[in-house]
Amino acid sequence: MKQILFTILLVFSFYAHSDDFKAHFINVGQADATLLEFSKGVVMIDVGAENGSLGASRNSLNTYLTDFYQRRTDLNKTIDILILTHNHYDHYKLILDLSKDYTIKRIITTKFYLESAKDVVKAAKKEKIKLEFMDYRLMDSLMPKGYELNLTNLVRPGSTIPKLSLYSGKVSVQSHQTINNESFSKTPFKDPNNHSIVSKLTYGKTSMLFTGDLKTDGIRYLTAKYRDNLSVFDVDFYHVGHHGAENGTTQAFLDILTPKIALISAGDTTHRNSGSAWGHGHPRKWTVELLNNQSSLNKQDPIQVHAYPDEEVNPETIEIKKEIYCTCWTGNIVMTVDKDGKYTVQ
């Protein structure tokens, strides 16, 4: 009995006090939900649900978080910061469930298209959660470092302190605008996707970039604004934009990021409705092949995966030889990183 108790205490001590950082990519179908686990706290990026499969997404998130907080009882079912990249169903819809079952201290999002995401405001008011909106003028004034969040209290004293910086968010485009010789029209920025908050996490020697559903014009806008400081987006890990859509990643953007690892959040092939991976054609074959040909990505043994040549068509099997992961291929994914940059993906 003493030996069993000692083993349990050792396991608890490791999880409660390990300096290793974990990024959990939760399989909620054709939607995003990412949990960043630190030694003393949690940050989440998006809590979406697949449109047309709300119940399945809800069950997946609930099961995962229940197991997580049973293991991390020291965190008291608390989420220190929740970042909602933009106000689309597949990025915010589970906010009411989350706020009912867990303590959320702070929500950060954008005001653009907020009228379609009334659940966000409702949850904040009901549970008395601090609600912050990324202001364009503020973001502009903070270039090039971005809006930096203080995560010191999320790690134990003496540990590596993570750095989380936010970029973009709500952008301001008039009828026509030119930024560093790049021309922009107003129409693409009526799309909430192009107002996605971009998050960069740095932990020791490792950095990660999350771009929400930023599309081609949003990517161009971001890189034009930061043309003289593009090194801020040079990262090791890339959470692939817009669920692996053809308009969520460009070769020029990959050349700026130079990622070693890419991960996609997308739904499985069994659902056949407009809100599913099949309905959107995610991940797109073109994008997976683009990533597979990216020289900066780490090599791995060849594996067969599926990707869609278009929306509402059957997926095709393709071979990849680089470190590309997708929740639609393997389910939940956990990436563990230490301060020296060593990592494992499960």
pLDDT of residue 7: 36
CA 30 to chain centroid, in Å, comes to: 13
Burial class (CB in 10 A: 0-12, 13-18, 19+), 171: buried
The answer to the question of residue 14 being in a domain is no
- What are phi and psi for residue 221, nearest 5 degrees? -65, -45
Determine, yes or no, domain membership for 34.
yes
> Among 76-85, 170-179, 268-277, which range has the highest average pLDDT?
76-85
Q: How sure is the predictor about 176, in pLDDT bands with cuts at 50, 70 and 90?
A: confident
Structural domain contains residue 7: no
Closest listed residue to residue 69, CA positions, set 94, 44, 42? 42
User: Residue 329 falls within a domain, yes or no?
Assistant: yes
E-state strands within 115-247? 130-133, 147-150, 163-168, 176-179, 182-185, 197-203, 206-210, 237-239
Domain that holds residue 245: 19-340
- On whether residue 187 sits in a domain, the answer given is yes
Q: Is residue 9 part of a domain?
A: no
Both tokens of 70, joined, read 């049973």
Q: How many domains does the chain have?
A: 1
Find residue 146's DSSP bridge partners.
none
Query: What pLDDT digit, counting tens, does each position of 221-244 carry?
Result: 999 999 999 999 999 999 999 999
- Is position 210 within any domain? yes
CATH of the domain at 93: 3.60.15.10
State the DSSP code for 270: S
Residue 10 has pLDDT above 50, yes or no: no
- Tell me which H or E stretch contains 58: helix 54-71
Tell me, yes or no, whether 51 lies in a domain. Answer: yes
Q: Tens of pLDDT along 35-86?
A: 999 999 999 999 999 999 999 999 999 999 999 999 999 999 999 999 999 9
3-state helix, strand, coil in the chain (%, to 5): 35, 30, 35
Give the Cα separation of 311 and 327 in Å (integer): 18
Round to whole Å and give the CA distance between 11 and 75.
15
The mean per-residue pLDDT over the stretch 105-112 comes to 93
pTM of this prediction exceeds 0.95: no
